Amino acid sequence: MKISVIGTGKTGSKVVEMLGDNLAYAFDESNPPTLEKLKESDAVIIFVPGDAVKDILPKVLESGIPAAWGSTGFSWPDDLEDDVQKKKTKWVLATNFSLGMNIIRNAIEAISAGSEILKDPEFKIHEVHHVHKKDAPSGTALSWKEWLNKEAEITSAREGDVNGIHELTVSTANEKITLKHDALDRALFAEGAIWAAEQLLKNKNLTSGIYTFGQLFDFITKNND
């Protein structure tokens, strides 16, 4: 199995390091991906900023290989699902490749359901990332609000070299509930991205098309023999 990586920044470089001998090619601005080299790869993992996605998306699609995208701050085309299916390939689009984040997702959904019996609850989501992160709020914070399915205020901060901190607070007049996820090392995103790429390649029960990371996680865990 040979996997290529597009984007060798803070997280992409971790993916390159962890792939070891399974790395096919590492692409960046000075060494952009070519269709020929992508086709030599079994799959590709992509960590580029949202404003760089539009330049590489057509080439990744044309290659027809499975792709795990860790890019946020980009509006995906409405017809992307049809295009991926036409290529008979599989993509996963993730706002966060932490496997533990799927435990958080289940917890947020439980909090959302339970909050129905609370009196006038207020929901706040706060996220902190490194100063070089361009999009705010983070894609993960937006996913938290989607999982919560409630009106929630989202606030953002950019500090130092923070990998990612997300916190949900549910407040009433008499109590406060806090749920927090702290990414201690970017290796956790690399691990999740590699796991996702491997599942796209190995799991024969996955049909062609686009999956969120949560959908992929649920499918694999619920169909794990």
**Catalytic site residue 54?**
no
C-alpha 198/C-alpha 42 separation (Å) is: 10
**Catalytic site residue 129?**
yes
- Count Cβ atoms within 10 A of the Cβ of residue 149 and give its class: 0-12 exposed, 13-18 middle, 19 or more buried: exposed
- Count Cβ atoms within 10 A of the Cβ of residue 161 and give its class: 0-12 exposed, 13-18 middle, 19 or more buried: exposed
> Which of 59, 96, 93 is closest to 75 using CA atoms?
93
H helices present in 20-138, as ranges: 35-39, 50-63, 80-86, 101-114
Residue corresponding to tokens 């649920």 = 218
DSSP category for residue 116 = G
Catalytic residue among 133, 145, 166, 181: 133
Catalytic residue among 129, 145, 166, 181: 129
Active site residues: 129, 133
